[in-house]
Structure 1
Amino acid sequence: MDAQGPPNTSGSPSPRSEHGLPGVNPLRRPSDSFESWFRRILLTLLVVGLPVVAYTTGTTAYEASMHAVRAQAAQRHEVVARLTADVERNHNAAKQSAQVSWTDAAGVVRTGTALADPGTTKGTPLHVWVSRNGTVTGPPMSTLNAKSTGWVAGGAAAYGMALGIYGLRVGTRLLLDRRRYAQWDAEWERAEPLWSARFRR
């Protein structure tokens, strides 16, 4: 029977330290242990933190967008305006700015600028969105816009976190390798004279 411990049933010798302890790799450096520990931390952050960050950011962006949707829906309304002049024909432009006028709920005639197709004649009705003060504006955001904003924000946050973790991983590896190379150079400077002396004998 082996005096140092039970035989290795796997058929290969068990790694031992300088003290003969099984399971300890004598070539494992402190930097190797730190790198392995740090990689496990980063992996845990990636697995646990990535969905949390993506969901939290996406939900926050969606709720903020829905607030804007409700606010714009309350502040804007659609009216039927009419062109006050013919729109010139221009084959190089899909839409052109044109003057329009409409009568608001209080009976006040208002004017503004809207986009119309080239060649549209005076008096043609156009559906335009206006604000409470009678300014022509764009249509309010839709729920689909809010959902898209949430998905994009969540995806961007997840991508940014993954990129940051990858950068930490690469940066840490570079710093550790730089330290290892310096240690190897210092050890070689101590060992090289001894090797040279042996071969000069």
Structure 2
Amino acid sequence: MHEDRRANRKRRRTKVPLWRWRSNPIRRRDDVLEAWLVLAIWVLIAVGGTVAGLVTAHATDQVFAQQRTERIAVPAVVLDDVPRTATAIGRDLASTKVRWTTSDGATHSGMTLLTTGRKAGSTVRIWIDAQGKLTTQPPTPTKAAVEAGLFGFSAALALSGVVFGIGSAGRWYLDRRRIRQWASEWTLVGPQWGHQNS
């Protein structure tokens, strides 16, 4: 019984790691191609995914930093009462008209989202861009860092998925080609094998 277990363990150990890289009589050109393909896939996932993630995160963080530089908060006057009724936009938000003055003295008006219940004539803080147009509040440095990290992770994941998909398609093609080669070779060898056994 112990000898059977040892024999089974020995059989399990006979599997040669990285056999496609080693010279052996059953290795084919497609096996070598597959070995290089698998290596390329993992290198591109590890290196390419990391680079794509870092570049995307850095670019996103720069965009947010530029927004914080260009966008400024200014006081604005609410022109219409903001109804207290709930809206489809948000639980406590409703669209209303406001008026503001830019640093050059020009007066502008536009629609923005405000919390419900505000009265006409009250003052609120809004965000405008370099041209004095209404815009959204830029993300804080902490929020920007989190969002940049998420964008970077998504980019790395997307690239890894594409590379893995292309690699899987390549391996599938090599498998189909090997099967066709084995089938054609068997049509030559099979009849001789059967003839020797009869």
* TM-score normalised by the chain length of structure 2: 0.69
Q: What's 1:78 paired with?
A: 74
**Structure 1, unpaired ranges of 5+:** 1-10, 15-22
Matched AA of 2:64: S
Alpha-carbon contact 1:31-1:176 (below 8 Å) kept: yes
Question: How many residue pairs align between the two structures?
Answer: 177
Q: Percent identity?
A: 27
Q: What's 2:94 paired with?
A: 96
Q: Are positions 1:41 and 2:40 aligned together?
A: yes
Shift of 1:39: 1.8
2-structure distance, mates of 1:38, 1:194: 36
SS class of match (1:48): helix
Shift of 1:135: 4.0
1-structure distance, mates of 2:134, 2:190: 83
SS class of match (2:24): coil
**Structure 2, unpaired ranges of 5+:** 1-9, 15-21
Q: CA RMSD in A?
A: 3.3
Quick one: structure 1 residues 57 and 111, their matched pair in 2 at CA, closer, same or farther if it must change by over 3 Å? closer
Q: What's 2:142 paired with?
A: 144
Quick one: structure 1 residues 199 and 101, their matched pair in 2 at CA, closer, same or farther if it must change by over 3 Å? closer
Q: Choose from 143, 168, 176 the match for 2:174.
A: 176
Shift of 1:29: 1.8
SS class of match (1:98): strand
Matched AA of 2:172: L
Alpha-carbon contact 2:64-2:138 (below 8 Å) kept: no
For 1:51-200, list aligned pairs within 5 A: 51-70=50-69, 72-73=70-71, 76-79=72-75, 81-92=76-87, 94-101=92-99, 111-131=109-129, 134-198=132-196
2-structure distance, mates of 1:47, 1:134: 45
SS class of match (1:26): coil
* TM-score normalised by the chain length of structure 1: 0.68
Which protein shows a greater Rg? 1
Shift of 1:131: 4.6
2-structure distance, mates of 1:60, 1:66: 10
Quick one: structure 1 residues 82 and 178, their matched pair in 2 at CA, closer, same or farther if it must change by over 3 Å? same
